[in-house]
Amino acid sequence: MSDVAIQDEFAYLHFDSEDYDLQHKIGQGGFGSVFKAIHKKTKQTVAIKFLQFATQSAPKHRQQQLARFERESNFVCQLSHPHIVRLLDKGRIDDNTLYSVFEYVDGISLSDYLKQHGALSVAETHAIMLQVLDALVHAHQQGIIHRDIKPSNIMILQTGAKHHIKLLDFGISTLTLGQRA
């Protein structure tokens, strides 16, 4: 069992897991931090997204963030599509820290790709957007609306001669009116 200390802007997070070895931080968002990790039994690389509450967080704020985190994992686990990141596991460390384990996407965000390579050609744009739209159609068929489509939530992987995308971050998704209780 490992004991990895991670400095976050809120506090130190001690993630002691029989299942995962944390490697390093790969992202930071408005409501969590994401770390690259290795699943100990399978040696599979994964991404673990942590939601950690500041100890002085107002109860209403905590409930909103908790609901949003739970909503994201519940929505993603309903989606099975080659262009949508897969949820593999989730859990709670303590009252202040929850986590979700996603497939690790070994690529670059579309926003970083554009910064490095400049504008996409018409053919590249067409190929990438067809994949994004196919993922969105699948989500919409399940009654889920992403609501945060932007270049930083689209990961590009090079698979052979083609770009392959994965859509990330369903944190502010919602259900269509027909799907709401």
Query: Strand pairing partners for 144?
Result: 175
Determine whether 169 is an active site residue: no
Plot region of 113 (φ>0 → left; ψ -120 to 50 → alpha; else → beta): alpha
Name the phi and psi angles at 105, rounded to 5: -105, 110
Instruction: Say if residue 105 is exposed, middle or buried (CB neighbours under 10 Å; 0-12, 13-18, 19+).
Output: buried
From the list 19, 112, 148, 169, the catalytic residue is 148
- Residues acting as catalytic residues: 148
